[in-house]
Each structure stands twice: as C-alpha cells, then as structure tokens.
Amino acid sequence: MTTPDLTELLADSPSNWGKWGTDDEVGSLNYLTPEQVLGGVGLIRKGALFTLQRLIGDPAGDPVWPGRSPATREMILDESHWDEGGDGPAFPGGLHYADDKINAFLQGSTQYDALGHVWYDGQIYNGYDARTTVGGLDKASVEPIAQRGVAGRAVLLDMARFRDVNHLAAGETFDHTDLEKCAAAQGIEIKPRDILLIRTNHLALFFQDSEGFYGDFCEPGLVYSPELVQWFQNMEIPNLVTDTIANEITTDPHNGVALVLHNALMRNLGIAFTEICDLEKLAEDCATDGVYEFFYVAAPLKIHRASGSPVNPVVIK
Ligand code: UVW
C-alpha cells in the first residue's frame, strides 16, 4: 500500500475556511450560539457536577503522546525553607507559604488543541500560512478559544459500554454510523451542534501497564471516510471530546496515514479537539440514571501563542 499525502487524501474534503470571516480563529465553536448554551443549561436536572480533567502528576502515571513527557512539578518554597539557616523570606507578622512550578507540555494532559495545532500543505485552519506558527502561533492559537470559552448541549457516546467491553483495544475503529447506533442504544439522538463526548476507556490499559501501552502504539477511535467528515459537517459538530490521547485512530488502517481526522476535522472544518479526558465517573452516572445528555462547559488557559492548553472541563447534569 502506498501511503497517500494528506493533500491527496483530503483533496475533496469539505472546508469551513472563510465561513466565519477571514480573521476567524475559533472555527466550529461559532456554532455554539447563546441558544445552544441555553439549550445545554436547560438539561441541568439534578445539580451533579463531573470534572473531566485527568490528574497532572498522577502517581499512577500521566498518559501522553509518544515523544512528549509528563509534567514535572518542582517545589520552590515550603516549610523547610524556614528551618534553621533556611532561605525562606521574612515577612512582617511571620507569614510562611508554599510555592511550586510545573514544567509541562501544553498538550501533555487533558487539553484543548489550538486550531492551528496541526496542518499539511503549508496552511493551518482558515488558510493561514503555516509559517505563522514559527516561534509561537500568531494565528489560531489556543488563546482565542480560551478568550471565548466553550459551553453547550453535549452527549456522551459510551462506545466501550455499547460494545460490551471494559475498554476498546488498540487499533479498534468506529465511525459516525456507530456513534448513531450507540446513541440509539442509549435512548438519545445526536442533535446538530451537539458537543460529542466519546468514551473508549482505552487508557485503562496505560494504567495497567504503561510500557506495554506504547508498544505498537495505535489508539482506537474514529476512522476517516469522506462520509464521516460530511456527517460532522452536516451535523455542525463544534467540539470533539474523548478519553484517548489523540481523539482518533492513530494510524488509519485503510491508508496508513497518521491523524487524518486532526486534519479533516480540525484543520479543515475548525472542530475543536479536547483530549485525554477522564470520562469514567460521568459514564458510570449516565449508565445509572440513563441520562446521556447534559450541559458541558470548558475554557482552556489563556496562553499567548500556544498550540494548546490544559483544561478541566465540567459537565453538569
Ligand atoms: C498530536 O497532534 C501529535 O497530538 P495531540 O493532538 O494528541 O496533542
């Protein structure tokens, strides 16, 4: 099999470039109008909150994309600095305090990707020149998403439960028709402009055996087809949220190309990607009360020119 270029593979793929203006940097999040936000708020029934961020510095390990390293946290000041001969600063009244800092990949935990995070053919989302990424993203960085915020009606599609497994296996794929079947089995309908949360529980394998997890690394997930991309376009999906590191099958089994949907959905349609979420408590609750639609709200950190940012999305049911 000859692996095609993304340029060739996605030559006829739909695009939203220019749809929200030549200066747009938030893409399909534009679908999340005040009506959508209120529609999501209207789903709040029992006041239950679910935070979807994974723990940064988890003693059990931080799952990250190969080549990235987990965040490290360094203690700068603690009580030991006020020990005999210590360098703790002296404040009037005897104040002591703790300070620490982290060194982290901005894509190394639960995160929003900036729309300019990936590209091919020398252009990022909305046709901006890929040279605008040099030294930091001058266009389509995570900052406009952070300034805007994300809120709306969301649905959980529990693919692991739908397939009656604890977790999806490496390399396992599904597509939009499977999402619709999963929704139907859960008694819901995916509506236009829904934020999609997809559970695979694949990272359970990372927490069982982190070294084995990276051998022949190929996460399960959505797999490219022209029909799937058209479905996302027709459904005006604003945000794809999953519990895997990269939201899609790592290497497409049909053509050998890596991260096709990052390009077809994020670069071309401007769909925001939220990755490495922990959907376990939410999924358990949905299975218990049978309610798979809810209010979702998130805002990544406002980091100038960044290609992504950590986030702790919140679901309210
Ligand atoms: C890459 O794009 C390589 O990774 P991610 O979107 O998972 O941060």
Quick one: pLDDT at residue 159?
A: 98
Residue spans of the domains in the chain: they are 6-63+106-316, 72-103
Give residue 122's pLDDT.
Answer: 98
Write out the two tokens for 65: 């994309």
* Closest ligand 1 atom number to CA of residue 273: 6
For residue 68, report the distance from its CA to the centre of ligand 1, in Å. 10
Q: Say if residues 181 and 150 touch (Cβ distance below 8 Å).
A: no
Q: Which of 28, 301, 128, 268 is nearest to 259 (CA)?
A: 268
Both structure tokens of 263 = 């390009």
Q: What was the pLDDT predicted at 224?
A: 98
Could you identify the atom of ligand 1 that is nearest to the CA of residue 107? 8
Ligand 1 contacts CB of residue 113 (under 6 A): yes
Helix (H), strand (E) at residue 179: helix 176-185
- Alpha carbon of 28 to ligand 1 centroid (Å): 19
Predicted local confidence at residue 170, as pLDDT:
97
Blockwise average pLDDT, block size 10, the chain, 317 residues: 94 98 98 98 98 97 96 98 97 98 97 98 98 98 98 98 98 98 98 98 97 94 98 99 98 98 98 98 98 98 98 98
| Of 272, 271, 282, residue with least CA distance to 309 | 272
Which stretch of DSSP H or E encloses residue 156? strand 150-158
Topology at the third CATH level for domain 6-63+106-316? Glucose Oxidase; domain 1 (3.50.30)
Q: Whose Cα sits closest to atom 6 in ligand 1?
A: 246
Measured distance CA(170)–CA(153) in Å, rounded: 30
Q: Which run of H or of E encompasses 87? A: none
Spacing, Cα 65 to ligand 1 middle (Å): 7
pLDDT of 243 reads 98
- Structure token pair of residue 8: 């060739």
Distance (Å) from CA 17 to ligand 1 centroid: 21
Pairing of strands 221-222, 72-77: unpaired
Provide the token pair at 143: 């900052």
Pairing of strands 49-51, 314-316: antiparallel
Does any ligand 1 atom lie closer than 6 A to the CB of residue 245?
yes
What does the alpha-carbon distance between residue 284 and residue 158 come to, in Å, rounded to a whole number? 10
